[in-house]
Chains A and B, each alone.
Chain A
Amino acid sequence: MLEVDDLACLKGDRLLFRGLAFRLQAGELLRVAGPNGVGKTSLLRLVTGLALAEAGEVRWQGCPIRRDREAFHRELLYLGHAPSINDLLSPLENLRFACAAAGDGSDEEACTQALVRIGLANQLDLPARVLSQGQRRRVGLARLFLSARRALWVLDEPFTALDVKAVADLAQALSDHCAGGGMVMLTTHQDAPFAVAPRVLDVGAYAC
């Protein structure tokens, strides 16, 4: 279970939100909502431990994430706004590196299958710089298929630049992950066909 208590976020010298609290149980899908600039991405970065909260605490399975960062990061998959793709490497090389760096195995067969499943069968060996925005986004998202054992998925605008079919497939994958006891926390501005309507957390309600 992910617990967030009394969280406050300072950006520059401006307080974005304060007093933000929520619980995320196994099997839940949480959509973080709010207008642009309200601090959705900042909230996700605080939850992952990339950024330091001004006040408040994030706990994973009852333990503050700062205290046992490595155990938390073994259970976490974060896909940020930047797709973390290097232009000089092919999608397959990018994906294998992402998996190896995260501490998962970088089995070539499994990575190839993940890329084929997400619709990049013909682009496996092209340098990433010739891919379209949507295809680049897919390379990052292919990690979802290799991260089933990670309980908490935190996704920043995963649907951006994807076509209608890819959005439906992704929504299905997220629903499946939740059905299998995982947790998903995401930001998005578009409607996606989830199996179960996600719980909504409005960051605007805590804005300063």
Chain B
Amino acid sequence: MLSTFLAVLRRDLLLAWRGRADVLVTLAFFVIVVCLFPFGVGAEPNQLRAIAPGVLWVAALLACLLSLHRLFAQDHADGTLEQLLLSSEPAALWVAAKVLAFWLSTGLPVVAVAPGLALLLDLEQGALPVLVLSLALGTPILGLLGAVGAALTLGLRGGGMLLALLVLPLFVPVLIFGAGAVEAEASGTGAAAHLLLLGGGLAGALALAPWACAAALRISTD
């Protein structure tokens, strides 16, 4: 059982490495979107500091959305998905492995460069650990929820746009608590409540999303 999980994880990470241009594009998108804001709203430090948590979180969310459609598309096109669905191992298991590989290759780099961009927006240094922690807890939720949407829109015409319409509303609570955590820390009220809620959301998504995603994949390949 564990061997299937590890085989899928290893393969997807290997594919992400061999197709690393895609990963770099996602990361570059994140950096550029954040850098656009000072040009748009002006380089007034107080203003930038105030909008920094929201800007970073929205950019991270869009970067995640940008690569979501790739999660199952290639496997669906070349027949690998059918073979995985015919595996005698539970589908939720390899779905979880795919989402983990997706997060390691797109979510983790975003989490890693976020502190640098936060300095660019003059976010308070004390809030940086909370920013990293909130992104580390929040981006896996985006990946898990997004995987269900990606599975449902698999093989549809204009699936990418539909996927955005489907999952962006579901991302709203994550955005509220993620950006809220950084703001709360910067304003000195403490981010514990927000981070605990994000952690709870992650635990819930981990428990439920792989099953929902597996069921959606069975429907999409029917």
Please list the residues of chain A having a beta carbon within 8 angstroms of any beta carbon in chain B. Answer: 48-52, 70-71, 73-74, 76, 78, 80-89, 93, 96-98, 100-103, 105-106
Contacts and interface: CB of A to CB of B under 8 A. Distances in A.
A171 to B, nearest CB: 23
A93 B11 CA distance: 8
B83 A98 contact: yes
B77 interface: yes
Interface string B71-95: 0001001111011111111100010
B19 A106 contact: no
A82 B77 contact: yes
B4 A100 contact: yes
Q: Is the interface of B mostly helix, strand, loop or mixed?
A: helix
How big is chain B's contact interface, by range? Answer: 20 to 34
Contact of A84 (B8, B18, B79, B221): B79
B14 interface: yes
B221 A89 contact: no
B4 A101 contact: yes
Nearest to A82: B79
Interface string B156-185: 000000000000000000000000000000
A99 B11 CA distance: 12
Contacts of A50: 82, 85-86, 221-222
Contacts of A70: 88-90
B80 A48 contact: no
B196 interface: no
